[in-house]
Structure 1
């Protein structure tokens, strides 16, 4: 069984939900307090033992490459001013085996994965989406890799969501739990109507896939939205080799929409050593002000 060494981070989307901010700025570079969202994904990959990462990007994504490149002028300035901690933070972003591939047209997640076929070769790999930040004692990507060591099979991360929100996700139709938290799956459905959803277990932004998925993607027809849907290809793969679903029990932050991004900034800000005390005080004062305004309005 080959070791899981490589990861794909799709980052070619247009980021339309964050316009106008993303007209010229990559969505993946929107910060959570003081760190771009994509850096959290890269850090999770490294903590999980991933050795090589390829970012599938598109037009107007140059800022991602620049962020993970060296900046001699900035580094020299920090050295001259003896700002050692800042220098360490800057240099840590360049100490990564990171590669970039251009997806010429945003034809969906499946197409982004297929774009990285030559980079992956015949090895198992993980796909990590930048819209989801995951927190747990063991990184979610590492959990999937540990599961793969036992099963040798593709494994997707899933999480229970409110039933009315199933139309936002790929959803699994579980057969049984082969062990606590690991499901054998009958089929996978891309963004079903809640009335037709086979379960509340939604696919979240982490996948561990065997290389056979590439052959399946190449013959998978375009699906919802006229895009090549990775979920459709995984459902087809499941007909010839087992694909498991691993239920994530940690904390998931959805930064793919405006409210989720704001919420995540608040949550992370309350843990950030430089701003947590001021932010907590601000939230308390703001809460008291809003309560007073509501009471005044109700009289």
Structure 2
């Protein structure tokens, strides 16, 4: 069985939930403390043993390429000033993996973004990591799926439980037999209407897919939101060849919308020894009863 060495990270979205900040800055470059969100995703892939990463970008995304590129002038300045800690952090981001880029020329949805990278993948199995979800876990979330793939030779989709009230926001699985944390799946449903979800197990931005998915994406029509949905293509693949779901372990942080982004920033800040105590004191002393304009 072929080992998974390649990953796709889609990063072509417009980031409308964070306008006007994302008018000129990619949402993937919005920082959680001192690192852009996309670096957390690349780090997870690298920790899992992924060697080659293709980032699917769009217009106004050049900052992503610059971030993972060498910055020799900056490195020289930091070296001259003896700021070795900062120098190591700057160099670290350029050495995580081999990173390539492809442009998604039209905003046609996640399925279309994945299809845009087909020539990079060829006929190999591959990982997909979405940037809206940061996962903290001892074993990287995507590695858990990669291990499940090596057991089955089939595509594996990462899931976690969500509140019933939020199932309409996600792709949802209709589970069958469960073994340990792995499910056989009867059906994958993209953003079911409120109250119609077959379970509360939601697809959480981590996938291991066989190259067969490209055959289905090539003929996939528009789905929810008028876009080409990856979940719809996975459902078609599941009918022809069993696709599994895996309830991966780890703490998931939703950075794809404002409240989740703020919560994530606070949680990560409270883990930082340099600012934790002062921040905790600031939070405790907040006067939440005083109206703010």
52-61 or 217-226, which deviates more: 217-226
Counterpart for residue 87 of structure 1: 87
Paired residue secondary structure (1:165): helix
Greater than 4 Å deviation, 4+ residue runs:
none
Q: Structure 2: any 5+ residue segments left out of the alignment?
A: none
Paired residue secondary structure (1:207): strand
After TM superposition, give the deviation of residue 277 of structure 1 in Å.
Answer: 1.9
1:71-82 equivalent positions in 2, closer than 5 A: 71-82=71-82
Q: Distance in 2 between matches of 1:246 and 1:192?
A: 20
After TM superposition, give the deviation of residue 126 of structure 1 in Å.
Answer: 0.6
Q: Distance in 2 between matches of 1:81 and 1:265?
A: 29
After TM superposition, give the deviation of residue 274 of structure 1 in Å.
Answer: 2.6
Paired residue secondary structure (2:107): coil
Let me know the Cα RMSD of the aligned residues. 1.1
Q: Distance in 2 between matches of 1:203 and 1:49?
A: 22
After TM superposition, give the deviation of residue 72 of structure 1 in Å.
Answer: 1.3
Counterpart check, 1:240 vs 2:240:
yes
Q: Distance in 2 between matches of 1:99 and 1:171?
A: 31
Counterpart for residue 136 of structure 1: 137
Q: Distance in 2 between matches of 1:156 and 1:274?
A: 37
1:211-250 equivalent positions in 2, closer than 5 A: 211-250=211-250
Per-residue displacement from partner, 1:174-214 (whole Å, max 9, x unpaired)?
1110x111100011000001321110000011000000000
Counterpart for residue 208 of structure 2: 208
Per-residue displacement from partner, 1:3-32 (whole Å, max 9, x unpaired)?
100000000000000000000000000000
Paired residue secondary structure (1:41): helix
Counterpart for residue 265 of structure 2: 265
TM-score by length of 1: 0.95
After TM superposition, give the deviation of residue 93 of structure 1 in Å.
Answer: 1.1
Per-residue displacement from partner, 1:212-239 (whole Å, max 9, x unpaired)?
0001100111111111100000000001
Counterpart for residue 145 of structure 1: 146
Count of residue correspondences: 290
After TM superposition, give the deviation of residue 290 of structure 1 in Å.
Answer: 2.7
- Richer in helix (by share): 1
Paired residue secondary structure (1:195): coil
Per-residue displacement from partner, 1:113-134 (whole Å, max 9, x unpaired)?
0000000001000110000000
TM-score by length of 2: 0.97
Q: Structure 1: any 5+ residue segments left out of the alignment?
A: 295-299
1:60-209 equivalent positions in 2, closer than 5 A: 60-95=60-95, 96-177=97-178, 179-209=179-209
Determine if contact 2:29/2:64 at 8 Å carries over to the other structure. yes
Counterpart check, 1:53 vs 2:67:
no
Q: Distance in 2 between matches of 1:194 and 1:163?
A: 9
The structure 1 residue matched to 2:288, chosen from 255, 277, 290, is 290
Per-residue displacement from partner, 1:118-172 (whole Å, max 9, x unpaired)?
0000100011000000011111011001111111110000011111111100000
Q: Distance in 1 between matches of 2:258 and 2:176?
A: 35
